[in-house]
């Protein structure tokens, strides 16, 4: 009886702690996001007027909010190794903000390729240094273990990591190819599947070294900090839906300004929430299986890289009712997400839920 009472008190304390962390995280996230939106809206008006590399600033917000919370609550995951890596991310964020809102410290780019050419040189060099450090730290057992609690290690189930990532990449490519087959839009440089794959693979390889901070900036916030608080509090099924809704609403200001589906703010935001719920299931599942945030970073990066390469050589469309980044693709991905839930319930039921 005493053990049961003691366990109940510990559960109650942990729930209270996670709720507090969740509220503070969402408060900081909202504050930073509103400041970002107001700055963009007052200075640029529409998304098309924003310099390309400056459009990537908002992706750094979720991880920044998570790191602030980890410091405030003295998170036990802040090991020496985690502090070192997150320190690199903080330095990158500060430099990137200066280069985005003021001017590039070194006025040239590293490589002249879509998106990558928009990242200023100093920011690019810091990103490359950070990714090399990550690889080195994951090679040594002691350092790798120091990254485990924060999900910054490369995780377990390496075969799943590779296989699921490749499968997802193939699905996304097919969905953008369907845009061309059904005539939903023409590519910028003309239809050329060979050059699509050359550009796609080149961008993908380089992006892991140069643009990873932007994708880590989202995924560390969503898949490490937010997911690890929503799932124990609400359960994995309700938790992943809540996460998807938060993630979608977080894009609202950017959608209103025309980041996606210009001129369709209402349907654009509804579509974004639909998309993020589905992707929250897919990315969240991958993180549950591997216990690594890097698979979510990889999947997110693959999604966006495919879109960039497809716009140039396969097809592009700003319509919500299309494949590619349109709703038809995400109906198919929704079926994929549903299968993930139904066919591997062991993973979802393995989440420890703190019952009241």
Q: How many residues does the chain have?
A: 356
What is residue 262's predicted lDDT score, i.e. its pLDDT?
86
Q: Which of 101-105, 126-130, 234-238 has the lowest mean pLDDT?
A: 101-105
What is residue 4's predicted lDDT score, i.e. its pLDDT?
60
CA 211 from centroid of its chain's CA atoms:
12
What is residue 317's predicted lDDT score, i.e. its pLDDT?
84
pLDDT exceeds 90 at position 318: no
Show the DSSP H helices in the chain as ranges.
Answer: 2-44, 61-72, 80-101, 121-139, 141-148, 158-181, 193-210, 212-219, 227-234, 236-250, 252-256, 265-290, 294-313, 327-343, 345-349
List the beta bridge partners of residue 109. Answer: 120
Q: In whole angstroms, give the CA distance from residue 78 to residue 67.
A: 9
Contact (Cβ atoms closer than 8 angstroms) between residue 294 and residue 155: yes
What is residue 6's predicted lDDT score, i.e. its pLDDT?
59
* Bigger pLDDT: 85 vs 184: 85
* Bigger pLDDT: 110 vs 249: 249
Confidence of residue 148 (pLDDT cuts 50, 70, 90): very high
What is residue 114's predicted lDDT score, i.e. its pLDDT?
73
The percent of residues in the chain predicted with pLDDT above 70, rounded, is: 97
Q: Which of 27-36, 47-56, 68-77 has the lowest mean pLDDT?
A: 47-56
DSSP string, 256-291: HTTSSSTT-HHHHHHHHHHHHHHHHHHHHHHHHHH-
Helix axis angle for 80-101 and 212-219, nearest 10°, is 120
């Amino acid at each position: 009886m005493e053990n049961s009472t003691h366990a109940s008190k510990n559960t109650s304390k942990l729930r209270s702690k996670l709720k507090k962390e969740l509220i503070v995280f969402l408060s900081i996230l909202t504050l930073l996001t509103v400041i970002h939106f107001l700055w963009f809206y007052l200075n640029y008006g529409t998304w098309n007027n924003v310099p390309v590399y400056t459009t990537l600033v908002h992706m750094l917000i979720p991880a920044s909010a998570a790191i602030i919370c980890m410091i405030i609550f003295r998170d036990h995951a802040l090991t020496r190794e985690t502090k070192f890596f997150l320190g690199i991310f903080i330095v990158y964020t500060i430099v990137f903000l200066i280069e985005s809102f003021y001017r590039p410290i070194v006025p040239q780019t590293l490589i002249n390729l879509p998106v990558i050419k928009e990242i200023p040189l100093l920011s690019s060099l810091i990103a490359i240094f950070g990714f090399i450090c990550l690889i080195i730290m994951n090679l040594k057992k002691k350092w790798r273990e120091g990254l485990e609690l924060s999900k910054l290690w490369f995780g377990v189930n390496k075969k799943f990591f590779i296989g699921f990532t490749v499968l997802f990449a193939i699905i996304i490519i097919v969905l953008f190819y369907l845009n061309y087959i059904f005539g939903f839009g023409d590519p910028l440089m003309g239809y050329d599947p060979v050059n699509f794959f050359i550009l796609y693979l080149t961008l993908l390889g380089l992006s892991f070294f140069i643009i990873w901070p932007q994708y880590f900036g989202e995924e560390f916030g969503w898949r490490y900090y937010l997911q690890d608080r929503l799932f124990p509090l609400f359960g994995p099924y309700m938790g992943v839906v809540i996460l998807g809704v938060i993630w979608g609403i977080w894009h609202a200001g950017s959608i209103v300004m025309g980041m996606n589906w210009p001129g369709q703010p209402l349907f654009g935001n509804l579509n974004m929430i639909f998309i993020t719920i589905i992707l929250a299931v897919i990315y969240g599942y991958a993180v549950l299986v591997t216990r690594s945030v890097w698979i979510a970073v990889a999947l997110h990066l693959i999604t966006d890289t495919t879109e960039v390469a497809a716009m140039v050589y396969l097809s592009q469309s700003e319509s919500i009712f299309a494949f590619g980044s349109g709703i038809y693709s995400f109906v198919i991905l929704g079926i994929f997400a549903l299968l993930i839930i139904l066919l591997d319930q062991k993973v979802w039921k393995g989440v420890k839920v703190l019952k009241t």
